Amino acid sequence: MWKAFPLFLAALSLSMIPPQALLAQGACPNCDLPPGCRENGNGNGNGNGNGNGNNNRNCERLEVDIQADIDFGRLVLIGDGVGRVVIDLESGNKAVFGELDDLGGMAVQGEALITGAPGEIVHVAIPSRVSMNDPAGGEAELRDFETSLPALARLDSSGQLTFRFTATLYTDAQTALGGNLRARIPISVQYD
């Protein structure tokens, strides 16, 4: 017998952690600037962010722009609702396992664009787990994040790097409350 609870998973709202949050966490205060541009400045032209006083180095700050949000489409919970949904990083295909059924809707991989100083190496950090919630009490969790980033992520000659990312959605009995589950995935980027 089907015990169905609609579970609508809309696009995830994604964001980069703002620099103020990084400072509050005790992280490198100027790691969004390339090495050699991280001085605090003393009014003599060094560390002003435009390359002056740094042998004309490009001291462009890093930015992350989310081009596409992760979207698992529409799902229905059957039985106890314990299951998982995987969006394949290469193909973008959705696979549903366990006590879930696919009600359609297009699965979408996330895509992000990093901009900064051309040719610089960057480090991208994505959390290992993110909780998804609905105001009515529904819950699920994103885990097993994957990206298309190379082992050594480097901005191209125009100072850009585009990458795809995805995760596995895990559901359990708490998800049975259903709803429009959303989450913010903090993606942070810094120069190496």
Please report, for the chain, the start and end positions of each structural domain, with discontinuous segments joined by +: 5-23+60-191
Gap between the Cα atoms of 121 and 190, Å rounded: 9
Percent of the chain with pLDDT strictly greater than 90: 47
Of 28, 34, 31, 29, the residue nearest 57 (C-alpha): 34
Residue 16 has pLDDT above 50, yes or no: no
Predicted local confidence at residue 61, as pLDDT: 87
pLDDT grade for 30, boundaries at 50, 70 and 90:
confident
Taking domain 5-23+60-191, whether its CATH number is 2.60.40 is answered by yes
Predicted local confidence at residue 181, as pLDDT: 84
Predicted local confidence at residue 85, as pLDDT: 95
Residue 14 has pLDDT above 70, yes or no: no
Structure tokens at 138: 């529904």
Predicted local confidence at residue 39, as pLDDT: 67
Q: Under DSSP, is residue 33 helix (H, G, I), strand (E, B) or coil?
A: coil
Decide if 64 contacts 19 (C-beta within 8 A).
no
